[in-house]
Amino acid sequence: MIYRKQGIGMSGKNKKRPIHLDLLHIRLPVGGVVSILHRVTGVALVLALPAAIFLLRQSLLSPEGYGRVSAWLRSLPMHIMLFLLILAFTHHFFAGIRHLLLDLDIGISRDGSRRGAWLVLAAVALLMVTSLFLLW
């Protein structure tokens, strides 16, 4: 890690402050992980929209197009993609509800925030197990 020269900090003490933080070695609390995953899943869902629109368009063009899209959606790679999209959606949904509750000062304490983050992860895990049974 690279450090700045020693200087006077806000508390009046000399501190060595890092210039570059190595994010792979910082251990985030569970609330931070859920928050970052909320952003990642949001980006993934937005990036998946063009493919979903394309598939919808192809299926609506003709009966043959519908048959091709239907057969393609039944393939193993598409089952995996659908599972990942369901995972992204459920996590984004429950983490978004958690963030809305935090905006209303519900679960804002350290313990409440940690409990809410674990509830998000538990709800996502439960729905993922359910979707595995429904997809296959």
Q: Per-domain residue ranges for the chain?
A: 38-135
CATH of domain 38-135: 1.20.1300.10
Q: Is the pLDDT assigned to residue 50 strictly greater than 90? A: yes
pLDDT band at 70 (very low <50, low <70, confident <90, very high): very high
pTM here is 0.76
Which pLDDT score, from 0 to 100, does residue 72 have? 93
The span from the CA of 39 to the CA of 51, in Å, is 20
pLDDT band at 84 (very low <50, low <70, confident <90, very high): very high
